[in-house]
Amino acid sequence: MIKVVSFTILFFFTLIGNIPLKANEETSETTVSFSSDSYLKINGKTNVSKFNCSFNIQAFSNEIKIGYKELENSIQFNSATIQLPNIEFHCGGKAINKDFRKLLRTDEYPKITLSLKEISKQNEISEFINATLSITICNISKDYKIPVKIIKGNEIYVQGLLPIDITDFNLEAPKKMLGMVKVSPEIEIEFALKINEV
């Protein structure tokens, strides 16, 4: 099992509901775990078809510790990072798995890193929050701000979609069949995570 810190602390923000945050300069910690039916995948397309590469959620540890700091209108994180080994993505076949790992230069850079930096509410009635995420691919890091949907129930359900352009990470979209099949440089990291506080 790979012990990593998960950005799924997003659930904490839902627990405070509409109660205004009070600034707290001290770093707090909590522990969460994933349900087995959570998923994270990368969606892509070519000029002739679509594909997706699903991450093996079992690669995460069962219990994950999170460090965060409450501010007046947001929560900042100092230890909310997911490390995604490239070999744990499965794209539906050996050939496409090999192409995916080659694209990401897995021999040199064996993992993708996602870090949650900050979350803040969009408004008092929205079920969405704004999340600032940093993604590192091939040792190049970029920051993104995306809406994340949270559904409360027996478990906290966190859902989001992070669109990226692989050329931002100095990656070149591959071509197949003498250039007739071209992979789009635009991909999406889609996640739907069910979380329990331990």
Q: Are 35 and 196 within 8 A, CB to CB?
A: yes
Burial class (CB in 10 A: 0-12, 13-18, 19+), 66: buried
What are the tens digits of pLDDT across the range 130-162?
Answer: 999 999 999 999 999 999 988 777 777 889 999
Cα distance between residue 167 and residue 124, in whole Å:
37
pLDDT, tens digit (0-9, with 9 covering 90-100), for 2-29: 333 333 344 444 433 433 444 556 778 8
- The CATH class for the domain spanning 7-197 reads mainly beta
pLDDT above 90 as % of the chain: 37
Quote the pLDDT of residue 78. Answer: 81
Mean pLDDT is lowest, of 7-21, 50-64, 115-129, for 7-21
